[in-house]
């Protein structure tokens, strides 16, 4: 069962410098299975042992970039001209049926291509003729080919809808029973996450406002992607990737983020973003008047994700840390949920911070897995990069409950009584935030934080979507 935490009270603010923590006692409740993630036609992923082309690629964009696991746009293969070939070697003959491809500038143009397969790199058979990418997003697209036995897979680039460049960021080769050459569009708003409930912050400034761009609920639901910061992953998730430096949400914040902000108005612009109104929710301990005015009462957020990358350089207290979920109030944060992995460790820690509204009060930190210390040893029960896990944040009246859920392991649960934190006062409103709030602004310039999200579900009492 749940128990209240013996919390360490420490002096800190706003996700900045974190001093060394004290011990925290955690309960061991029963196991709850992590929800399955749909994988579609994706039976077995093969290791690609080598990749070559005809040697005509742009010197800065070699074929090896397509299998390096780096999905940033600069890590790509580019070759200009019709019928440019790139060949992937699986090392042994295997039954193939599917490729997952992240096309460069996939949201701005359609790539024209064919696919062939071979057992000996000499005799080739067509497994997909004269196809095109969707041209409507910059994430991975799954291309099913005619099932065949092959060691080598060749993509023949025929230019794109704008010019004769052939550019691919990343490629995976899979088996696929009954594959028939169908294009399966792995599109963020078709992956089971209801994006009309959110808007997105990305560290660009296309509107020349001096701050990061906000993508509203309707644009997200209509299929917005960004080839560098927000796109569908090869395994049917949504990648959020934040650099250490870039445009920020305001002049008052120190850190860059790629993050979703809950919007209960679901695109209804007649409702203001801020305030106790139908866009935001209140605690169940709030007055009847406040509950009636809000979009919902109390809240639960369920998220499944994998953290893919963290920073390894910078100020000691900033290295390897990011916030993966929050509850935000008017000006304060009832919870920030952190993941942190230090360079010398192969697993990361999970902890959270609670910020009271009481003047002069210190933030409260609770360690759930491992330690948040700047010199923490490798947590024996920690979470590795690319390891899927789930978290649940629940507020009922003034009780905050945080649960970490992993397949085959006991849940880890922490309860915190917020009765004295003043978030139930009449002017206080709340919203969930999910994504990569990247708390390192001192790393090497090319470093970044990245996580892939497979489930994001928000619910509130009285909220229409929840009933």
Q: pLDDT tens digits for 34-71?
A: 233 333 455 688 999 999 998 777 888 999 999 998 88
pLDDT in tens, 287-315: 999 999 999 999 999 999 999 999 999 99
Give the pLDDT score at 45.
87
Does residue 23 or residue 415 have the better pLDDT?
415
Alpha-carbon span 63 to 413, nearest angstrom: 46
d(CA 14, CA 252): 11
pLDDT at site 208: 86
- E strands within 263-376? 281-282, 296-309, 321-328, 335-340, 349-354, 364-369
Is 60 exceeded by the pLDDT of residue 199? yes
The C-alpha atoms of residue 299 and residue 327 are separated, in whole angstroms, by: 10
Quick: pLDDT tens for 116-162: 999 999 999 999 999 999 887 777 888 889 889 999 999 999 999 99
Task: Report pLDDT for 19.
Answer: 34
Q: Does CATH number 3.40.718.10 belong to domain 8-37+237-466?
A: no
pLDDT, tens digit (0-9, with 9 covering 90-100), for 419-467: 999 999 999 999 999 999 999 999 999 899 999 999 999 999 999 764 4
* Of the candidates 290, 96, 129, 107, the residue with the CA atom closest to the CA atom of residue 187: 107
Residue partners of 219: CB distance under 8 A and separation at least 6: none
Q: Per-residue confidence at 231, pLDDT binned at 50, 70, 90?
A: confident
**In 3D, which of 338, 273, 335, 352 has the Cα closest to residue 300?**
335
Cα diameter, the chain: 76
Average of per-residue pLDDT across 348-364: 96
Fold (CATH) for 45-187: Jelly Rolls (2.60.120)
Instruction: Kindly compute the dihedral angle of the four CA atoms of residues 61, 62, 65, 71, in this order, to the nearest 10 degrees.
Output: 20
Separation of alpha carbons 346 and 280, rounded Å: 39
Nearest CA to 247 out of 196, 301, 288, 206 is that of 206
Read off the pLDDT of each residue in 390-401 and give the average, rounded to a whole number. 98
Tokens found for residue 15: 């996700």
> Would you kindly state where each structural domain of the chain is located, as residue ranges?
8-37+237-466, 45-187
Our CA dihedral for 36, 170, 46, 390, rounded to 10 degrees, sits at: -20
How much of the chain exceeds pLDDT 90, in percent? 69
Predicted local confidence at residue 178, as pLDDT: 63
Chain Cα centroid distance, residue 370: 22
What is the pTM (predicted TM-score) of this model?
0.76
8-37+237-466 and 45-187: same fold?
A: yes
Q: Model confidence at 185, in pLDDT bands (50, 70, 90)?
A: low
Instruction: Report the C-alpha gap between 122 and 119 in whole angstroms.
Output: 8
Q: What is the band of 4 on the pLDDT scale with cuts at 50, 70, 90?
A: very low
Confidence band, pLDDT 50/70/90 cuts, at residue 32: very low
Average pLDDT, the chain: 87
């Amino acid at each position: 069962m749940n128990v209240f935490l013996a919390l360490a009270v420490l002096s800190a603010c706003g996700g900045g410098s974190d001093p060394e923590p004290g011990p925290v006692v955690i309960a061991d409740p029963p196991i709850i299975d992590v929800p399955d993630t749909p994988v579609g036609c994706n039976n077995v992923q093969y290791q690609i042992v080598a990749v070559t082309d005809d040697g005509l690629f742009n010197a800065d964009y070699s074929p090896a970039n397509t299998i390096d696991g780096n999905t940033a746009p600069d890590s790509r293969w580019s070759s200009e001209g019709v019928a440019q070939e790139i060949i992937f070697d699986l090392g042994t003959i295997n039954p193939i049926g599917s490729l997952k491809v992240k096309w460069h500038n996939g949201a701005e143009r359609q790539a024209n291509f064919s696919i062939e397969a071979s057992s000996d790199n000499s005799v080739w058979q067509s497994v997909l003729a004269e196809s095109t990418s969707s041209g409507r997003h910059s994430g991975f697209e799954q291309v099913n080919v005619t099932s065949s036995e092959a060691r080598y897979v060749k993509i023949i680039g025929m230019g794109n809808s704008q010019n004769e460049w052939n550019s691919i960021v990343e490629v995976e080769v899979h088996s696929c029973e009954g594959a028939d050459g169908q294009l399966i569009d792995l599109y963020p708003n078709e992956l089971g996450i209801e994006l009309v409930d959110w808007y997105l912050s990305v560290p660009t400034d296309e509107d020349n406002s001096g701050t990061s761009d906000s993508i509203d609920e309707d644009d997200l639901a209509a299929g917005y992607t960004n080839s560098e910061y927000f796109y569908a992953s090869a395994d049917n998730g949504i990648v959020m990737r934040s650099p250490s430096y870039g445009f920020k949400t305001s002049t008052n914040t120190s850190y860059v983020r790629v993050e979703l902000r809950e919007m209960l108005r679901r695109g209804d612009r007649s409702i203001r973003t801020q305030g106790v109104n139908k866009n935001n929710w209140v605690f169940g301990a709030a007055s009847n008047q406040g509950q009636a005015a809000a979009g919902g009462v109390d809240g639960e957020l369920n998220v499944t994700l994998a953290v893919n990358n963290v920073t390894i350089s910078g100020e000691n207290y900033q290295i390897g840390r990011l916030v993966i979920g929050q509850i935000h109030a008017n000006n304060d944060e009832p919870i920030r949920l952190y993941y942190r992995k230090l360079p010398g460790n192969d697993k990361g820690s999970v902890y959270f911070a609670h910020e009271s509204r009481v003047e002069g009060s210190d933030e409260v930190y609770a360690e759930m897995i491992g330690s948040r210390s700047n010199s923490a040893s490798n947590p024996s029960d920690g979470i590795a990069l690319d390891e899927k896990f789930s978290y649940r944040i629940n507020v009922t009246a003034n009780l905050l409950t945080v649960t970490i859920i992993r397949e085959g392991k006991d849940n880890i649960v922490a309860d915190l009584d917020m009765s004295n934190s003043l978030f139930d006062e009449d002017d206080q409103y709340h919203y969930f935030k999910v994504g990569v709030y990247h708390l390192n602004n001192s790393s090497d310039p090319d470093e970044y934080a990245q996580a892939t999200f497979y489930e994001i579900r928000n619910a509130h009492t009285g909220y229409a979507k929840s009933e």
